[in-house]
């Protein structure tokens, strides 16, 4: 089996030209956080990406088996090493660099070294401290960063392209841009971080009593293979689109979703829309004309 066998049947799908598939095979992807959102690695591998950098400090737990492609013998092993072994079994020719470590406010320089060596970043950690450090480094280096919370229980994705002054910090109105990452109050920052992703309808995905326990951190966030797979499919597709654009290719019938716009598909209601995290507006697309009708949210 070769890499060409893996990507063979993609050729002929719109945008999946021989040129793009070849570029995909050369693109270096950093996956920051290898838990629920980390499952994007599996999608990327099977689309044809071969060069991965994975950063995560955690180990595989039994509860991870509801959404990650591991089996019980992986429980207790570092997630980074579990992913490395898994990826190399599927494609022995792929390159996997791992860092089994927690990213903290003291790691900005190390994160910059890691991000500098890749082409695009998939941000999949739920930790506010790690999120801010990585987001700030990506903004400074102008590295595209794909985001989408795996606990949203729907399809949700966006790309922080860092055009102009747009950043996670500016859209979230954190007010910490002038501070060194080591001086930020991350506990106070957490609610503002969560607000960015609180698109209309998200809180309806959990029973009220469960939502309260999750928000108070009494229990971990809820997730399910069905919806985690949707988020990771969205992130993989977004990374494919970005790969094309970064290499000067023209996309047909689609485009990169640029933050603060977030693309949402709600499988509970069967509805698709856009959410402007900066203006707190929802955009309803017209599938015939391609135009988007924007409405202010009432929440």
pLDDT tens per residue, range 116-155:
999 999 999 889 999 999 999 999 999 999 999 888 999 9
CA gap 149, 190 in Å, rounded: 14
Q: What is the per-residue DSSP string for 119-165?
A: SEEEE----HHHHHHHHHHHHHHT--EEE--GGGSSEEEEEE---TT
- As given in the structure block, the two tokens for residue 201 are 């309808």
Q: Count of domains in the chain?
A: 1
Which pLDDT does position 219 carry in this prediction? 93
pLDDT 10s digits, 213-251: 988 889 988 999 999 999 999 999 999 999 999 999 999
281 CB burial (10 A radius; 0-12, 13-18, 19+)? middle
Which pLDDT does position 297 carry in this prediction? 83
Give 176's contacts (C-beta < 8 A, 6+ positions apart): 132, 169, 184, 189
Pick out the chain residues at pLDDT < 70: 298-299
227 CB burial (10 A radius; 0-12, 13-18, 19+)? buried
CATH number at residue 183: 3.40.50.720
Write the CA distances from 20 to 16, 25, 33, 246, integer angstroms.
6, 9, 26, 11
Domain that holds residue 250: 3-296
Query: Which residues are 122's β-sheet partners?
Result: 31, 146
Task: Give the mean pLDDT of the chain.
Answer: 94
Which pLDDT does position 290 carry in this prediction? 84
Which pLDDT does position 36 carry in this prediction? 82
């Amino acid at each position: 089996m070769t890499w060409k066998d893996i990507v063979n049947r993609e050729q002929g799908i719109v945008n999946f030209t021989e040129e793009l598939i070849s570029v995909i095979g050369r693109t270096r992807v950093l996956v920051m956080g290898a838990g629920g959102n980390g499952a994007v690695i599996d999608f990327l591998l099977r689309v044809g990406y071969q060069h991965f950098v994975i950063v995560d400090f955690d180990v595989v737990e039994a509860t991870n088996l509801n959404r990650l492609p591991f089996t019980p013998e992986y429980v207790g092993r570092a997630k980074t090493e579990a992913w490395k072994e898994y990826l190399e079994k599927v494609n022995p020719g792929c390159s996997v660099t791992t860092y089994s470590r927690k990213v903290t406010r003291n790691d900005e320089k190390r994160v910059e070294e890691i991000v500098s060596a890749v082409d695009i970043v998939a941000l999949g950690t739920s930790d506010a401290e790690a999120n801010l450090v990585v987001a700030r480094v990506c903004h400074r280096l102008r590295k595209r960063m794909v985001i989408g919370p795996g606990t949203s229980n729907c399809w949700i994705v966006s790309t922080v392209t860092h055009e102009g002054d747009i950043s996670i910090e500016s859209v979230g109105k954190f007010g910490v841009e002038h501070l060194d990452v080591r001086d930020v109050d991350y506990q106070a920052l957490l609610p503002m971080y969560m607000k960015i992703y609180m698109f209309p309808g998200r809180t309806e995905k959990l029973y009220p009593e469960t939502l309260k326990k999750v928000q108070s951190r009494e229990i971990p966030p809820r997730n399910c293979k069905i919806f985690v797979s949707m988020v990771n499919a969205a992130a993989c597709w977004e990374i494919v689109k970005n790969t094309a654009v970064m290499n000067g290719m023209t996309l047909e019938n689609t485009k990169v979703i640029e933050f603060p716009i977030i693309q949402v598909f709600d499988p509970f209601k069967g509805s698709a829309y856009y959410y402007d995290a900066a203006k707190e507006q929802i955009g309803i697309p017209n599938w015939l004309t391609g135009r988007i009708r924007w409405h202010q949210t009432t929440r």
